[in-house]
Amino acid sequence: MDTPLSFAHNGRMTGLDLSSQTNHYARLLAALRRATQRRASDVHLVVGLPPMFRIDGELVADSDTSLGREDVRSLVYSLLSEGQREEFERDWQLCVSIFLPDMGHFRVTVYFHMGNVEASIRVCPLSLRTPQELGLPEIMHKLVEKRSGLILITGPTGSGKTTTFNCMIDMINRQRRCKIITVEDPVEFVHENRLSLIVQQQVHSDTRSFSKALVHILRQDPDVIGVGEMRDLETISTALTAAETGHLVIATLHTPDAVQTVDRIVDAFPGDTQAQIQTQLAACLVAVVAQQLLPRVDADGRKLATEVLINNAAVRSQIRERKSNMLRSTMQTSRKEGMQLMERSLLDLYQSGVITYDTALAHAHSPEIIQQLMAPEKK
């Protein structure tokens, strides 16, 4: 039976203190295997319910047998070392990564709910899909050729941002001889060195925070910097500086579209510095790629829809002058440059028979744009 590996607190990969013969560990391993076979993105262990899989965005029960309080506690604790259990019981929360050689990495988040130990487990596949398999726009191939600037991948939780982030890192790794350093919380996919030298740092194991990691990364001769999430002002500020000083920075943000992404970055700073940040962002931004995952008509998984903002002369001017309300119009009229609104992507998917018309409208930021773009007889 496979023994999982965990990122220990000191950042080293260590075997967990487990007996592979225990019934609870065997049960959980079997559930995780079923989850990977069914292409689940998450597994939830909750008292009073059977193991719940998130498949194509929907929660599905793994069986008809509900888990009791001790069942969940024993299943979760079977994944943790003694030190990790002590850390969880001290802090009341824990996030660790485990690795199973034939299944991949799993991000395990353990928490208390009404006094019960419960867990959410994110499934991270062993191999990355290609940009074509993911349905990423063609412009992504040009974006990863950039030598400096800021590329932002945005979208709600569960929209595939981390997958796109790792796909872009992999694209660079396969075509350039450079040094790539990422900071992630946690590391969900471990990259092999191909043409590039890759260093992956995990928050709470290899570094204390995103912001502290970025300061030190700048002293490690990076060409490309990957930021798993820009969460705070200090991280955003350092990422902008890195992009402005000759590094290619690829980062993710929890914003739904390109316009709100630009506003979110500027609004993170005090009012008296926002004009300077607008100028800085206008100078270093390469692109914003906002994305959503949508249910397919054939129920065979989900399909990626994307919005793309490319920083050209018009966009630079609009960001610098804080005219973000004009960005959507620029995206709508600049398709030849690789830009597109989310509504355009949704309409293309509908007209290709991949998603329903109702799905397109439900996920549009401005449904009226879809209605305007589409002739009534094609509805």
Q: What is the mean pLDDT of residues 174-184?
A: 98
Same domain assignment for residues 216 and 94? no
Same domain assignment for residues 110 and 167? no
CATH number at residue 21: 3.30.450.90
Same domain assignment for residues 111 and 160? no
**Average pLDDT along the chain:** 92
Q: Is residue 305 part of a domain?
A: yes
Q: Per the structure, how many domains does the chain have?
A: 2
pTM score: 0.86
CATH number at residue 186: 3.40.50.300
Q: What is the mean pLDDT of residues 124-132?
A: 90
Residue 375's pLDDT is 59
Sheet with 197-202: strands ordered across: 197-202, 179-184, 224-227, 248-253, 149-154, 285-295, 302-310
Residue 16's pLDDT is 42
Residue 168's pLDDT is 99
Q: What is the mean pLDDT of residues 297-309?
A: 95
Q: Is residue 277 part of a domain?
A: yes
For 81-118, the pLDDT digits (tens) are: 899 999 999 999 998 888 887 888 899 999 999 999 99
Residue 99's pLDDT is 86
Residue 299's pLDDT is 86
Same domain assignment for residues 120 and 135? no
- Decide: 88 and 110 in contact? Cβ < 8 Å: yes
Same domain assignment for residues 138 and 275? yes
Q: Is residue 379 part of a domain?
A: no
Q: Is residue 329 part of a domain?
A: yes
Residue 152's pLDDT is 99
User: 117: part of which helix (H) or strand (E)?
Assistant: strand 116-124
Same domain assignment for residues 275 and 172? yes
Same domain assignment for residues 299 and 164? yes
- Decide: 268 and 281 in contact? Cβ < 8 Å: no
Q: Which residues of 311-322 are buried (b: 16+ CB within 10 A; e: fewer)?
A: beebbeebbeee
CA 23 – CA 5 distance, rounded (Å) = 19
Q: Which of 71, 93, 124 is the last residue of a domain?
A: 124
Same domain assignment for residues 150 and 79? no
Same domain assignment for residues 269 and 215? yes
Q: Is residue 362 part of a domain?
A: no
Domain that holds residue 94: 5-124
Same domain assignment for residues 87 and 205? no
**Cβ-Cβ contacts under 8 Å for 236 (sequence gap 6 or more):** 230, 265, 268, 269
Q: Is residue 38 part of a domain?
A: yes
Residue 69, number of CB atoms within 10 A of its CB: 14
Q: Is residue 355 part of a domain?
A: no
Q: Which of 108, 124, 140 is the last residue of a domain?
A: 124
CA 163 – CA 100 distance, rounded (Å) = 19
Residue 121's pLDDT is 97
Q: Is residue 375 part of a domain?
A: no
> Rounded to the nearest 10 degrees, what angle do helices 274-284 and 313-320 cross at?
170
Same domain assignment for residues 304 and 186? yes
The pLDDT of residue 324 is above 50: yes
Q: What is the mean pLDDT of residues 7-26?
A: 51
Same domain assignment for residues 141 and 240? yes
Residue 78's pLDDT is 93
For 192-218, the pLDDT digits (tens) are: 999 999 999 999 889 999 999 999 999
